Chain A
Amino acid sequence: MWSRRQGRLRPTVCGVEELRRRRREQEAALRKARREQQLVSKRLLREDVPEEAGEGCVAAILGEAEVQQFLRQAQRGTEEKEREGALVSLRRGLQHPETQQTFIQLEGSMRTLVGLLTSNQALLQLEAARCLHELSHSEHSTIAEACLPATSYLLTYLSGHSPDFIELCLYTLGNLIVESEAVRRQLLPQGIVPALAACIQSPHVAVLEALGYALSQLLQAKEAPEKIIPPASASSSILASTLPQHMLQMLQPGPKLNPGVAVEFAWCLHYIICSQVSNPLLIGHGALSTLGLLLLDLAGAVQRTEDAGLELLACPVLRCLSNLLTEAAVETVGGQMQLRDERVVAALFILLQFFFQKQPSLLPEGLWLLNNLTANSPSFCTSLLSLDLIEPLLQLLPVSNVVSVMVLTVLCNVAEKGPAYCQRLWPGSLLPALLHTLAFSDTEVVGQSLELLHLLFLYQPEAVQVFLQQSGLQALERHQEEAQLQDRVYALQQIALQG
């Protein structure tokens, strides 16, 4: 059930180290893009795959005359195969940005393509749709906008019956949506939300995955929190439609759960929830309960397989749960029941271990959920103690400063609940770990260590003596000049000396 689709192996022209280096560079560039809010992701369905750079592409760039010729052949050819072939050639050419530009600048080209898209020749329709799909992948919003005449038809075809065709239309729409606000401004009144709501009842997995993708792109739009998500926006509203209930259904663990589909809808849910528009509505639909069960299921899957694809689903699920837990509605609505279940904590730690081994950059997200679970819950704090999870938590301290701060925060969540909790934190590795983190140079890490120390001294006074014996005072002294830490360092020194 959780087996990941294997990508085709790329020819290894370079060593593993080189690949890793390139990947790191790529990730750094992407992080930069995200910081500048320039991260635009698209999906491309393509049959002919160009070989790695350096070996040249399969198709050549087409000039104006060639584009015209192919269009004419497609439109007026006598033999079907000839017409289809012309469109295939055009489609290959459209893999190149230059051809795309040429195409849209040619008068009547889009009109012809739309005519072929709506023709009575099914295979021409398909090829025309593929041409549009190539165009949708362009990075230029002018090209996306040139596809505007086709959108009403793409939407109409969503209520058709050919799954491959619908899938193609959905990916094309998704790509166009993310590229241009002008496209979205047209698609919303054209009824994209009701069209998607109707289409989500399809039994075809590929269609559902494509739909999830298109929807996730719509939800990522910067105007989504005001114009697309809220229930008040009537016909273009996601929350007023039946989409949320269907989305949650796709996330329910069980034999029908498809990982590819679940990934898309989990991301959709994340975009809705972090927009903080109307989360109590989602809680009312059982989001907490469903996501909690899914988390348990994920932890089970992680234990069973070596699959590296699970973090793609784990990440949005963690985010959704963490954000939902901040809603006041959590206390009042019955959905909270699931999240009193301490198996959630067990599952989370299994996932943390998985991240530690496979994807350390996701550790903060897991710890974020742990914080939100434990902050106001004596029950979960007790679970951490009774399930012996303090030790594993401490093992995460060396990973990074961000992770350290979060680990210390969770420990503070436990410690601040009083002596009964601090007794269980003592003795053990906690004090040595704190002495270690006090040696860090990061102010936030040290600051959080001081907070934890303070709680420990308050509720477990025996700790003071041991602290002194292990050169605790010297550890504190290091930071007495630091503006952000001074007061707390001084206060702790006083407590230690008096104790």
Chain B
Amino acid sequence: MQLPPALCARLAAGPGAAEPLPVERDPAAGAAPFRFVARPVRFPREHEFFEDGDVQRHLYLQEVLMQVADAPEKPRVPAFACQVAGCCQVFDALDDYEHHYHALHGNVCSFCKRAFPSGHLLDAHILEWHDALFQILSERQDMYQCLVEGCTEKFKTSRDRKDHMVRMHLYPADFRFDKPKKSRSPASAEVPGDSGERSEGEAMEICSEPVAASPAPAGERRTYSHRSVSKLFLKHVLNVCSVLRILGCTWAAALLTLNSER
């Protein structure tokens, strides 16, 4: 198919429309038996006209190897530890560290050190757990906002909110990022690396041991497993932790060692 040489130049030049030649139709043009009528055509979704193009699209999506070729072997670096206070994770690949950081230190509550998967959930948490004004207002009006993005419903209690999320949004009843304050079981281990019952524990919301003493939030009645831990013990733990970090041990192993010593 040969294109006129001037065509490329036309494309490169500026916009413009051709001055249309005069249109002059003869009624005999549309007279029977001839039936041509100039008209734009539309094709709906499943029309067979789209067959070939759809097949090409399908083949493109199935090209697994295209993805693979782009993902190179993770570059390895000398082992290093997470610099966030209280975290002893060690890494040998930057990608792993990046994911760890985003997951565990990205959206962290500055009051209680809990980590959340998103800023949205963190904001809701701070409001509901650490804001005295919220507590006061919630006695008079519906303050508990639905956690689903885009839903503006508010509720009197977190229980009501949960019911709404289960009924209207088909969320699981044990959705891990919507734990009501009072039902926190003291046995929920805050230790990262704990491999116990996930269904009861605070899965995502880890508490790195309060290295910086968290200011006692007003109006709270939470029971932490470590609330009773003495300052001296904490200091001891920290020292051991930094030693073990150098040795590349995990937090869990550290505590296990400590526990067996006590």
Contacts and interface: CB of A to CB of B under 8 A. Distances in A.
28 contacts: A10-B65, A30-B59, A34-B58, A43-B61, A43-B62, A45-B71, A46-B64, A78-B253, A118-B204, A153-B176, A156-B117, A159-B117, A159-B149, A161-B106, A190-B171, A193-B150, A274-B43, A338-B15, A343-B13, A343-B15, A350-B3, A372-B40, A375-B40, A376-B40, A383-B18, A387-B6, A418-B26, A487-B33
B98 interface: yes
Contacts of B56: 311-312, 315, 359, 361-362
Interface in A435-461: 448, 450-452, 454-455, 458-459
B241 interface: no
B115 to A, nearest CB: 7
Interface of A: 5-8, 10, 26-27, 30-31, 34-35, 37, 39, 41-47, 49, 75-80, 83, 111-112, 115-116, 118-123, 125-126, 149, 152-153, 155-157, 159-162, 164-165, 186, 189-191, 193-195, 197-198, 213, 225, 235, 263, 267, 271, 274-276, 296, 299-300, 303, 311-312, 315-316, 319, 322-323, 325-326, 338, 340-343, 346-347, 349-350, 352-353, 356-357, 359, 361-362, 364-365, 368, 371-372, 374-383, 385-389, 391-392, 395-396, 412-413, 416-421, 424, 448, 450-452, 454-455, 458-459, 487-488, 490-491
Interface string B152-175: 000000000000000011111001
Contacts of B76: none
Given A276-B44, A392-B4, 14 more contacts: A41-B62, A79-B250, A153-B176, A156-B117, A213-B61, A299-B11, A341-B15, A350-B8, A361-B52, A375-B38, A379-B18, A454-B29, A458-B29, A491-B33
A342 B16 contact: yes
B148 interface: yes
A133 B51 CA distance: 28
B118 A451 contact: no
Contacts of B39: 375-376
Given A34-B51, A165-B103, A189-B169, A379 B40 contact: no
Contact of A416 (B29, B46, B51, B198): B29
A420 B21 contact: yes
Contact of B192 (A43, A121, A424): A121
A419 B54 contact: no
A375 B198 CA distance: 65
Contacts of B52: 31, 361-362, 364
Cβ-closest 5 pairs across A and B: A194-B150, A115-B198, A487-B33, A418-B24, A378-B20
A459 B26 contact: yes
B7 A349 contact: yes
B136 interface: no
A417 B250 CA distance: 81
Contact of B42 (A189, A326, A378): A326
Contact of A342 (B17, B48, B195): B17
Contacts of B222: none
B91 to A, nearest CB: 9
